[in-house]
Amino acid sequence: MPYKYAHLSDPAPAWLSVAEKHAPLDTLSSEVYRLPLVEFRKVPYKASPLPSNAPQTDKDLCIRTNTVTVRDGTSISLRIYEPLEKKEGRLLFFNVHGGGWMVGTPETEEAQNRFIAMRNDAVVVAVDYRLAPEQPFPHAIHDSLDALLWCVEHVSDLGIDPSKIVLGGGSAGANIVAALTLLLRDDLSLLNNNATVIGQVLNIPVTCHPNHFPTDKYELHSYEQNKNTPLVDAARMHLYWNNYISAADAGNPLTSPLLAATHTNLPPALVQVAGLDPLRDEGLAYAEALKNSGVATDLRVYPGLPHAFYVYPDLEPSQQYFDAVTEWIAGLKKD
């Protein structure tokens, strides 16, 4: 059977121009991800550099931190991005960072968060959820949900309109966001204060454990085609999965949202997929599942680019990637 998406794995000229000149970022190198787990966790995480046109603190926006207490009494932090002008009733973009559930910080999607705050006149709250393997599933989901509920309870302090909430995440963060939308759909009592999630941004998402992928419905060849690709390869994804969940949790819709019994009545979605990514096919499958369930879904595909290619911020496709998010949110606000 021919591979339907094989052409998306052909390296893009824009990526080849970077790959020839630059080694992967320090914390994303192959050597780091192949260290024994104990050593891996000792490597300092570094967020990617900002694009040259990224909004600046004090000039364009302010960034502050806040501490919240989650359900088990642990304190976690939030990174809050706001336009300089104080104002009420702004859209809230709640971001859950990527990093395979094992690494990353609220600054992982720093450029995106700054662009959204500035271009969409929004308040962006990025949650510093606890990481695996020390805190495996479901801690990341619980921490993120509790932080979101804190935002809903503090709309006046944040200057947000609770009826205009967009959830967003990248990679493992998108996985957590997809899980949150399922939880919030199935239990309307979780949100109060007239809070409404009007959209979800799923960037290069993890949507299903490969051992449970429904190959009778969707194609899954990207783990094979993109097995040894830069930045995140198939072996790293298995490392992440093995440290986030137990074998019994692999088929749980809260870890593999593609396996949910239904995807109806979920918020409108922007799904962004990289063609040279092991996660490509599960992102495409999730977009298809959402569309087939009547969810308004905007799918953007970046052929020939690896997972998290936007860590090279001055690539033209990286700018397109950031623009897609802010333009999609602007469209939500108009609607």
- Catalytic residue, candidates 97, 142, 209, 307: 307
58 assigned to active site: no
**Residue 310 DSSP one-character state:** G
- Residues 239-267 as b/e (b if ≥16 CB within 10 A, e otherwise) read bbbebbbeeebbebbbbbbbbbeebeebb
Cα separation of 233 and 227, whole Å? 6
- Residues 7-35 as b/e (b if ≥16 CB within 10 A, e otherwise) read ebbebbebbeebeeeeebbebbeeebbee
77 assigned to active site: no
Residue 130 burial by Cβ neighbours in a 10 Å radius (0-12, 13-18, 19+): middle
Query: DSSP alpha helices (H): ranges in 196-271?
Result: 222-225, 234-244
Give ∠ CA 302-259-204 in degrees, rounded to 5.
20
171 assigned to active site: yes
Distance of CA 216 to the CA centre of its chain: 26
- Catalytic residue, candidates 144, 171, 256, 318: 171
- Which helix (DSSP H) or strand (DSSP E) does residue 319 occupy? helix 316-334
Sheet containing 90-96: order of strands = 61-69, 75-83, 122-127, 90-96, 160-170, 197-203, 269-276, 297-306
- Catalytic residue, candidates 128, 143, 146, 277: 277
Tokens encoding 209: 């454990």
Q: Which residues are catalytic?
A: 171, 277, 307
